[in-house]
Amino acid sequence: MRGMQPVGILSTGSYVPERVLTNADLEQMVDTSDEWIVTRTGIRERRICSPEQASSDLAYEAAVKALQRANVAAEDLDMIIVATVTPDMLFPSTACLLQDRLGAKKAAAFDVSAACTGFLYGIATASQFIASGLYRYVLVVGVEALSKITDYTNRNTCVLFGDGAGAALLGPVPDGYGFQSFELGADGSGGPLLQQPAGGSRIPASSESVEKRLHYISMNGGEVFKFAVRVMNAATDAVLEKAGVSKEEVDLLVPHQANLRIIDAAIKRFGLSEEKVVVNLDRYGNMSSASIPVALDEALEAGRISEGDTVVLVGFGGGLTWGASLLKWTFQRV
Q: Among all residues, which ones are annotated catalytic?
A: 116, 256, 286
User: Strand pairing of 79-83 and 138-145?
Assistant: parallel
CB-CB neighbours of 16 under 10 Å:
24
Q: Where are the alpha helices (DSSP H) in the chain?
A: 23-27, 34-41, 55-70, 94-102, 118-131, 207-211, 221-243, 260-270, 281-284, 291-301
Distance CA 43, CA 257 (A): 10
Distance CA 136, CA 172 (A): 7
* 152-170 exposure pattern, b = at least 16 Cβ within 10 A, e = fewer: eeebebbbbbbbbbbbbbb
* Cβ 99 vs Cβ 78: under 8 Å: no
User: Which one, of 264, 284, 267, lies nearest residue 276 by Cα?
Assistant: 267
Furthest-apart CA atoms within the chain: distance in Å:
58
